[in-house]
Amino acid sequence: MKNTLLILLTSCFMFVGFAQDSYSLSADSKLTIDGTSTVHDWTVTANTMDGTLITEGNSPKEIDFNVVVADIISERGATMDKKMHTALGKDTSPKVRFDLKEVKNHSTFIGTLTIAGNEQEVEITGQMDTTGDTITISGEHGIALKDFNIEPPTAMFGQVIVGDDVTVKFDLVFMK
């Protein structure tokens, strides 16, 4: 009987050591994309995002993060939004997606980024802060549109051309 009790207690402590916690993306999260064109710099804002984060111990084990392409909006108006949505493949790939594969050094997130239906493995450096029931991941990451087979949008009969490089700035807040 003592051996059975000892085995049961040891098993419980092992499972507690491998406990996982689940977090959901908060509405306090922010994501913007900065870029250039032959005429002006621009910024667009992701207005609809969702995601989950699962930790094991103090480190993320899984991150599933999505941005709804149709709700990425600029301050420059509907024409720019339509061109951007077309370039991002809104009709065939309605979401931009990031799936975590591993975390290196508590600040480098390696995973698969899918934009316009094209996948790339990326290493995103960010800062992760844990406070109570909240995990915040913030930083910025440069993306070359050509790496995702995206043709930079143009306007005014090709006189305005979007630059190939954009910078994604993020402040993602996950809550239990």
Model confidence pLDDT, tens digit, residues 142-173: 999 999 999 888 777 666 778 889 999 999 99
Q: What confidence tens digit (pLDDT) does each residue in 97-130 have? A: 999 999 998 889 999 999 999 999 999 999 999 9
Q: Cα separation of 100 and 33, whole Å? A: 20
pLDDT at 57: 81
Report the C-alpha dihedral over residues 111, 114, 120, 125, rounded to 10 degrees.
-40
List of domains in the chain = 19-175 (2.40.128.110)
Residue 174 has pLDDT above 80, yes or no: yes
Report yes or no: 152 and 166 within 8 Å, Cβ to Cβ.
no
- Between CA 82 and CA 70 the distance in angstroms is 9
Rg (CA), the chain: 20
Average pLDDT over residues 86-91: 95
* Per-residue pLDDT, 106: 84
pLDDT computed for residue 162 by the predictor: 84
Cβ count within 10 A of residue 151: 12
CB 142 within 8 A of CB 165: yes
24/41 Cα distance (integer angstroms): 33
The reported pLDDT for the residue numbered 161 is 77
Q: Report the length, in residues, of the chain.
A: 176
